[in-house]
């Protein structure tokens, strides 16, 4: 497949460059300006860990993926969308959860820019072409991994929410952070868990959009898993206990997501190009 024009439109390229600039600014200030965050002590290791992963891993990966996406690489396009999804999740949580600070408008701008870029990018993704590029490899490892994430993430949060709901209290993680509620609960249970369940179902049926969602979600969960491990490191450095089981589980999930992400992206092929037009009923039969 070849592309006779840039597969990433100019507006999305400009939005992505703005995302890179704002993300570097936000993370650098958060990490290197002492006392910048005004959040509860229990929440600080989380934002520091998120900032570290974003600056050290997500930003460079985003820049590289954007470059290859603009050159017509389907692999680069998928990676670009996946990191955009990670940044969308990250700055949605910052815009709604962190205590007000001087970068509030930057968080809101990042939320809008990443949402615009992600939705537009998914709408332009040729799911049929992606399925053809991946080929006939087995889908069960990807389906199983996504269902495991549904069970683990859903079980983790419901294990905190349901006892508090039945007892008429507030989950400890919310109380310790001094928050009215948990944005992470809402994002994970309202968006992430259903997305993995839908993606697994579509992929099992070998629906083209199952391949598209799986590719993007694998990149997102790999970066997000790294962020969780970075958060755990800051918690330990702060002198707070972190259950070994939690580190083991998230470390294993992050490693598996990296392996599956690499397997999926390598299956696409480095010379596979983004199609200029999606196949029609006439061209599909040629």
The per-residue pLDDT string of the chain (286 residues; one tens digit each, 9 = 90 and over) reads 333 345 799 999 999 999 999 999 999 999 999 999 999 988 888 899 899 999 999 999 999 999 999 999 999 999 999 999 999 999 999 999 999 999 999 999 999 999 999 999 999 999 999 999 998 889 999 999 999 999 988 998 999 999 999 999 999 889 888 888 899 899 999 999 999 999 999 999 999 999 999 999 998 888 878 878 888 888 888 777 776 767 777 788 888 989 999 999 999 875 566 654 444 444 444 3
C-alpha to C-alpha distance for 81 and 119, rounded to whole angstroms: 9
Buried residues in 156-165 as b, exposed as e (16+ CB within 10 A): ebeebeeeee
Task: Give the N- to C-terminal CA distance of the chain in Å, as an integer.
Answer: 14
pLDDT of residue 96: 95
Q: Decide if 181 contacts 94 (C-beta within 8 A).
A: no
Q: Which residues lie across from 73 on neighbouring strands? A: 273
CA distances from 156 to 30, 65, 92, 159, 167 (A): 28, 32, 21, 5, 18
C-alpha to C-alpha distance for 30 and 39, rounded to whole angstroms: 12
* CA 49 distance to own-chain centroid: 15
Q: Which residues lie across from 273 on neighbouring strands? A: 73
Task: Write down the pTM of the prediction.
Answer: 0.88
3-class secondary-structure state, position 157? helix
| Joined tokens for residue 237 | 């450095």
Q: Decide if 109 contacts 22 (C-beta within 8 A).
A: yes
Q: Would you put residue 267 in left (φ > 0), alpha (ψ -120 to 50) or beta? A: alpha
3-class secondary-structure state, position 273? strand
| Joined tokens for residue 39 | 């959040």
Neighbours of 194 (CB within 10 A): 13
pLDDT of residue 6: 52
C-alpha to C-alpha distance for 124 and 250, rounded to whole angstroms: 32
C-alpha to C-alpha distance for 153 and 7, rounded to whole angstroms: 34
C-alpha to C-alpha distance for 187 and 94, rounded to whole angstroms: 12
- 240-50-26-217 Cα dihedral, nearest 10 degrees: -160
Q: Decide if 55 contacts 225 (C-beta within 8 A).
A: no
Of 236, 253, 251, which is closest to residue 196 (Cα–Cα)?
253
CA distances from 172 to 49, 99, 234 (A): 20, 19, 19
pLDDT of residue 167: 95
pLDDT of residue 271: 57
């Amino acid at each position: 497949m070849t592309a006779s024009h840039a597969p990433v439109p100019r507006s999305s390229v400009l939005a992505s460059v703005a995302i890179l600039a704002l993300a570097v600014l936000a993370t650098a200030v958060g990490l290197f300006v002492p006392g910048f965050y005004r959040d509860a002590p229990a929440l600080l290791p989380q934002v520091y860990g998120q900032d570290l992963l974003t600056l050290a891993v997500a930003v460079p990966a985003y820049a590289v993926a954007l470059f290859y996406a603009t050159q017509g690489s389907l692999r680069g396009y998928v990676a670009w969308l996946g990191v955009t999804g990670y940044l969308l999740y990250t700055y949605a949580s910052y815009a709604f959860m962190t205590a007000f600070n001087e970068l509030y408008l930057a968080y809101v701008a990042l939320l809008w820019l990443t949402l615009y870029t992600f939705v537009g990018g998914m709408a332009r993704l040729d799911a049929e072409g992606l399925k053809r590029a991946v080929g006939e490899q087995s889908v069960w490892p990807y389906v199983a991994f996504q269902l495991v994430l549904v069970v683990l993430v859903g079980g983790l949060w419901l294990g905190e929410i349901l006892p508090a709901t039945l007892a008429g209290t507030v989950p400890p993680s919310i109380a310790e952070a001094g928050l009215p509620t948990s944005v992470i609960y809402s994002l994970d249970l309202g968006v992430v868990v259903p997305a993995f369940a839908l993606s697994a179902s579509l992929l099992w049926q070998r629906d083209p959009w199952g391949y598209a969602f799986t590719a993007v979600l694998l990149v997102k969960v790999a970066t997000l898993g790294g962020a969780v491990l970075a958060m755990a490191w800051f918690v330990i450095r702060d002198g707070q206990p972190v259950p070994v089981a939690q580190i083991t589980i998230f470390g294993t999930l992050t490693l598996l997501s990296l392996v599956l992400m690499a397997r999926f992206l390598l299956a696409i092929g480095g010379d596979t190009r983004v199609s200029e037009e999606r196949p029609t009923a006439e061209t599909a039969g040629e």
